[in-house]
Amino acid sequence: MNSSDWEKALEKVAHEVSSENFSAALTEEDLESLRIRFLGRKAPLTELLKSIKELSLEERRLLAPKAQQIKSQLEAQIEARALEIEKLRFDAELKTQSLDLTLPPLLPLRGRSHPLTKMQDQMAHILGLMGFSWAEGPLIEDDEHNFTALNIPEHHSARDMQDTFYVEGGQVLRTHTSPVQIRAMRKQKPPLRIICPGRVFRHEAVDATHSAAFHQVEGLYVDQNVTFADLKGTLEEFLKALFGPQIKVRFRPSYFPFTEPSAEVDLSCLFCSGTGLASDGRPCGICKKTGFIEILGAGMVHPNVFKAVGYNPEIWSGFAFGIGIERVAMLKWRIKDIRNFYSNDIRFLAQFEDTELPLLA
Ligand code: DAH
């Protein structure tokens, strides 16, 4: 192609571009076919730009900027129309969709304490008001603290009361929070009033009411002339603050190696209000018609435990108790399956609002 044909062809393109009505493109597809027509690989302008190398250097210097200018102008027009089409579509959408501006905004999710932490805090709060202070111990314990010092000698059948996880080197995952009693008494001189909340482990099959890892709160009170009446009064106040003043508390003789005498403590059934009968008149499935449910173990500290920590049992006396946090939470909040606590389902966890901590009567 010689330069005058080339220039004519370019003028033809320029004419076509200037007589094209870009506003007639109403959709992105319309605009795309315009782009292909004017700027595509087979578009006249593209062909012209390709064949420019056939012209002499001088001709190119003269004509190339003209062609480039048409190309840039085309690109700008297409770009501008694309924005207009976008706006047209948005305006049309606004006309067909109704916006409810009175809808409340979505609030960001807030973190909250786990229900077991809440229950533990509630229990610690009540006992704190009674003068108990918080103590902790390790989760991996030695045999001496978990058993021997608690008056459970080696080969004693009481060791079978709790199925134990053994760790290399003869240590155990603590089976209860009672070893913290030993640690606290060895560290502090009497009198002493502590609670030890924390995680414990049992080699158990997991089901709706059993977990291999769960939580307890241990209580220990040592002073001169502490009696079983102090134990009864303390636990009754504690349980009423926790479950409500209407509940009844019952003590049954029991056995624990580290206390003598020992008791198991029952609560009047929260599900049938202690009547033993469900609302349909059938036997209550929770308390098995007895009207009571077992809630904790307790007793007067055994003299052998005092001896193991170097307290003189002739001078000091005390009581101790141990209560399961999951058990309390399940009864209070009517949770049927203990595994809910550990499955991290936000729909379960979010149900427990922060409740006001109870006060003593
Ligand atoms: N340690 C016991 C258990 O896990 C619970 C217990 C019972 C703790 C009686 C005590 C107590 O301090 O006096 O089964």
Does the domain spanning 115-352 belong to CATH 1.10.20.60? Answer: no
Nearest-atom index, ligand 1, CA of 258: 13
Q: Is the dihedral of CA 152, 153, 158, 162 positive or negative?
A: positive
Cα of 43 from ligand 1 centre, angstroms:
89
* Residue 173 in contact with ligand 1 by CB distance below 6 A: no
* Residue 297 in contact with ligand 1 by CB distance below 6 A: yes
Cα of 256 from ligand 1 centre, angstroms:
7
Give CA–CA dist 309/311, Å, rounded. Answer: 6
Give CA–CA dist 93/87, Å, rounded. Answer: 10
Which residues in the chain come in under a pLDDT of 70?
A: 354-361
Confidence (pLDDT) at 361: 59
- In 3D space, the residue among 135, 159, 162 whose CA is nearest the CA of residue 220 turns out to be 135
Q: What 3-state class would DSSP assign to 86?
A: helix
- In 3D space, the residue among 216, 220, 142 whose CA is nearest the CA of residue 184 turns out to be 220
Cα of 298 from ligand 1 centre, angstroms:
6
Confidence (pLDDT) at 311: 98
* Residue 256 in contact with ligand 1 by CB distance below 6 A: yes
pTM of the predicted structure, to 2 decimals:
0.72
